[in-house]
Structure 1
Amino acid sequence: RTHLRLVHEKEIRGAPFDMDVLNGKLIVAINSSVRLFEWTAEKELRLECSHFNYITALFIKVKGDQVLVGDLMRSMTILNYKAVESTFEEVAKDYRGMWMTAVEFIDAETALGAEASHNLFTCEIDRGADNADEKRRLAEAGMFYLGEMVNVFQRGSLVSSHVDNPLPIEKPILYGTVDGTIGLIVQLPEKYFRFFSDVEKGVAKETDNCMRIEHTVYRQFASEKLVDKAVGFIDGDLVESLLDMPRETAAAALAGIQRPDGEAEGSSSPEELIKFIEDISRIH
């Protein structure tokens, strides 16, 4: 039988809300701070450096030397760990008030967040900003009302990649909600994003939801302090609902739409587009 034994314990005088591994060291969110501990040759945790300026640091995600911190009510901050100086440098921060429930890196300069009003949003480092202050501000990139409270993000997918899948998805991220839903968020090349946006608009035009609310209104970002239109996201559930429509309704929704990987000019046939959407639905 295998037994676990206590090797070391350390009093930190605070509540550890989250932890991860950064360059072989332990990074921990403790109360209003982020602290990095080194595992020494004496098998002890030694505090190497800290970063403050949070209400409560709840979430930590690591990608290379970058650290994404989700705050209780101050949205997200991206830090850079400088190993030579043994310090954290604040790269950029979202200054909006967001009550965070989960965070994740999309890439080293783009972050995905979920907040308590059941919304998703993305922010990115603005390298094209005119001054240093603007470069340290995370720019808004996407906003979307999901309708459920996300409490976990995890990079990866539940299914193996399909070689014959026509959709070139990138950076898949799984999410879980307090209602028990498991969902998938993927990054799309620009031409595929435009295609699915057209399909989304077509399906929304041809169908009514049970609440008789316009799709654009239902999916708009809405919190206590901010209401804004959805941008940067495609409603995959709505797009896939096309597969359950009567053929005439589906054809009307797809009128004038061209397959993103097609070479011919003009619109593609409804059958061709439906088959394409069936194929890409296999990504989850």
Structure 2
Amino acid sequence: FKNVGGHQGFFLSGIRPAWFMVFRERLRVHPQLCDGSIAAFTVLHNVNCNHGFIYVTSQGFLKICQLPSGLTYDNYWPVHKMPLKCTPHQVTYFAEKNLYPLIVSYPVNKPLNQILSSTADQESGNQIDNDNLSSDDMQRTYTVDEFEVRILEPEKSGGPWQTKATIPMQSSENALTVRMVTLLNTTTKENETLLAIGTAYVQGEDVAARGRVLLYTLGRSDNPQNLVSEVYSKELKGAISAVASLQGHLLIAAGPKIILHKWTGTELNGVAFFDAPPLHVVSLNIVKNFILLGDVHKSIYFLSWKEQGAQLSLLAKDFGSLDCFSTEFLIDGSTLSLVVSDEQKNFQIFYYAPKVSESWKGQKLLSRAEFHIGAHVTKFLRLQMLPALSDRPSAAPAPDKTNRYALLFGTLDGSIGCIAPLDELTFRRLQSLQRKLVDAVPHVGGLNPRSFRQFQSNGKAHRPGPDNIVDCELLCHYEMLQLEEQLEIAHQIGTTRSQIISNLNDLSLGTSFL
């Protein structure tokens, strides 16, 4: 096509349709996953459909479409930028109403006397001595950050997103976490989906840390006045750094404590707590009745919740010191792994094996793999992998889901990556290929990819973990080698070129939620 939405290139139909667009003499590939296999495609341009296109799906549906105008396609993914005019901190998604609650902060100029009065310790009644400050000093303005939670709704036509509601925080109050939680109302015996916000009052090191937990209901989005209504607010000791829902209960990280609450419809009542030595919880993750807790300095803790007896018990922990940035569970069928990223730009994968002698009767989490990302990973998102073509016989219909999950992650330098599980045979084949490619592929800037991906401990004592991760950034270079080199390397590792390409395609298809 010469002009579809102002772009040129070609469209590849078939089982895995994709757009190939040309930008500045560079080809960008964007898969189209929404309608499955596509049988036919052509360009359409008339009064009713300006520079659009028509395609027919394999089910026999004919669709007349246009490309969304607000997207930039000259990237690895189509990108839609939204001006916020403030700093975003954390976002969550409410699928039921298609809303995105977002924590933002923006600078505000305030006079010094107003700042000093808000930082006075209310509990001990300390008053700040202002005698040594002149009136000019008191009237001088200083910049402080004000926080709020915005409820955003995407525009269906691809236009700018709309702010449906705003929840302002109090003076000196920072919103630390926002999460959609499903709680069981013990009065009505019904599940309620609420917006939970955890905050902290930042008033200097001389003031005891306090925070608030806030619960809101999100109503109909067509009435902005009634969209958000507060149903609960309570002040607690310590900063509320993480919240999560656990089998109808609300799990709150308040300072060094983890407290589990039940919801009565008007009150949160504590039913269990965990008081081991975490200093400051940076992330909470839940799978069934298992809890993964990441601490700012004390690495990760693996807990379980038992309804009978109402107790939170520690199953195992990592005994090393690790400055956690983010944590998440990695699920591969019946295998559960614990992933953590750290301050040295690594991530590690642990597992719980109480029957193995090295685990000290189950007290210690064992290392499954480790890898140097080269960037600070601040968020993992668990997504269900799609079935690959080789996972089923040719005559069998394609299952929609698999019992494998991949972790999508975002980093502080703006990059996005993915960790995905592999079966044993494919892993061994790709690991052998990786060892050959270290020598066969020219190194960027003379930097060895094998040494770069080794765990960086910054001088601390660290026992190397098993080498159980393959680097797909290196493996992707295999397809770019000359055909003779591809055949030679495949022969050296005892396989065929078509088998390697098939494995790489299956991995690409399994993670094509990207």
Same fold per TM (> 0.5)?
Answer: yes
Q: Does 1:58 align with 2:255?
A: no
Match of 2:305 among 71, 81, 86: 81
Question: Offset at 1:131?
Answer: 8.6
Match of 2:249 among 25, 30, 52: 25
Q: Does 1:141 align with 2:368?
A: yes
Question: Offset at 1:251?
Answer: 3.0
How do residues 20-169 of structure 1 correspond to structure 2 at under 5 angstroms?
20-41=244-265, 43-52=266-275, 53-107=277-331, 109-130=336-357, 133-156=360-383, 161-165=386-390
Query: Structure 1 197/132 Cα, relative in aligned 2: closer, same or farther at 3 Å?
Result: closer
Question: Offset at 1:133?
Answer: 3.7
Match of residue 449 from structure 2 = 215
Residues 355, 361 of structure 2: 8 Å contact kept: no
Question: TM-score scaled to structure 1, two decimals?
Answer: 0.87
Percent same amino acid among aligned pairs? 21
SS at match of 2:234: coil
Aligned length: 272
The higher-RCO structure (CA 8 Å, 6+ apart) is 1
C-alpha distance after superposition, 1:19-66 (max 9, x if no partner): 11001111112221211111114x111122211221211110001111
SS at match of 1:187: coil
Match of residue 469 from structure 2 = 233
How do residues 167-182 of structure 1 correspond to structure 2 at under 5 angstroms?
170-182=404-416
Residues 219, 230 of structure 1: 8 Å contact kept: no
Query: Structure 1 253/230 Cα, relative in aligned 2: closer, same or farther at 3 Å?
Result: farther
Query: Structure 1 214/132 Cα, relative in aligned 2: closer, same or farther at 3 Å?
Result: closer
Match of residue 485 from structure 2 = 249
Q: Let me know the Cα RMSD of the aligned residues.
A: 2.4
Residues 367, 466 of structure 2: 8 Å contact kept: no
Query: Structure 1 162/122 Cα, relative in aligned 2: closer, same or farther at 3 Å?
Result: closer
Question: Offset at 1:205?
Answer: 1.7
Residue type at the aligned position of 1:170: R
Q: 226-235 or 204-213, which moves further after superposition?
A: 226-235
Residues 166, 280 of structure 1: 8 Å contact kept: no
Segments of 5+ residues of structure 1 without an aligned counterpart are: 259-266
Paired with 2:279 and 2:503, the residues of 1 have a C-alpha distance of 47
Query: Structure 1 67/275 Cα, relative in aligned 2: closer, same or farther at 3 Å?
Result: closer
SS at match of 1:74: coil
Residues 102, 150 of structure 1: 8 Å contact kept: yes
Q: By percentage of residues, which structure has more strand?
A: 2
Segments of 5+ residues of structure 2 without an aligned counterpart are: 1-222, 393-401
Residues 329, 339 of structure 2: 8 Å contact kept: yes
Residues 206, 252 of structure 1: 8 Å contact kept: no
